[in-house]
Amino acid sequence: MRRATTLLLRAALVGAALYCGGAAHADPVAPTVLVPALDLYVDAEVAAHNLALSCADAKSPARDDAAWQKATAVFIATLWANGFPDDFVKGATVRFAAPAKPADCSDHFAMGFSDAERNGWEQAVERVFGALDLTVVSQPVSAETWTAIKAAIAAEIPRQSRMMECVGVTYPTLMPTMVHDWDQMIVQIGGKLVAVGLPRDEIAAALSPLEANAAWRRAPADKVADLAQACAADSEWQTRFNEFDFLGLGDAIDKLLPQPPPDSDQ
């Protein structure tokens, strides 16, 4: 396992607590303990949604498709942010996204949409998570925003690779500090992305190529002189280095992420 993946897994464990203030309970129950019960809950909510579409009054909050989509997005993002197993979260994602099926309106056992009938799907889901001492991700990142974030990350790979290879032959004594500062920023970005409920495996896949020892290799001795000469004529990496532009990725990603409400202490 590459170092970046290890760092990101560590961020996955602490990210929500670090960036969202942590769960309300001092000793929260481990996610794996909650999986069987939440697996049942997913099936119950899907059944309730199917029933609501078939049987609820046309003006019922339980028939609000936009609210259902937002509630299930909150559910999935919250699972990711709180460290639930990948296979469970991915399975729940597929089940929530499945096309609705006609329901038997005489099946009163499935009338689980009653909570959504009164309060809407979003409140119904958030109420459950609140009772479980989980940090709720109330503003999930959209697919479009996640695509934009990944594009911003990918764009940094060639820039950072070039800068590090040039620093390595121009200011070699600065490389340890640079690698430390760069990788520290990558870990912080990983923690933030975990905290907003993005899939951990996708975060690792996006950030791993940016880890310093993946993006940079020490130049062979017989290539150092030529590389140093080429780097001396290249102003782009020098500007990036001298103005600390290479540490701006975190701020750029922050601007793409959902912003907390004005009265939030996050």
pLDDT at site 116: 82
Q: Which two tokens stand for residue 41?
A: 């809950």
Q: How far apart are CA 146 and CA 153, in angstroms?
A: 11
Q: What is the pLDDT along the chain (266 residues), one digit of tens a residue?
A: 444 444 444 443 344 333 333 444 456 788 999 999 999 999 989 988 998 888 888 888 888 999 999 999 999 999 999 999 999 999 999 999 999 888 888 765 555 566 788 888 988 888 888 888 888 999 999 999 999 999 999 999 999 999 999 999 999 999 999 999 999 999 999 999 999 999 999 999 999 999 999 999 999 999 999 999 999 999 999 999 998 888 899 999 999 998 766 655 55
- Contacts by 222-225, CB closer than 8 A, 24 or more apart: 224/169
pLDDT at site 133: 85
Q: How far apart are CA 151 and CA 158, in angstroms?
A: 12
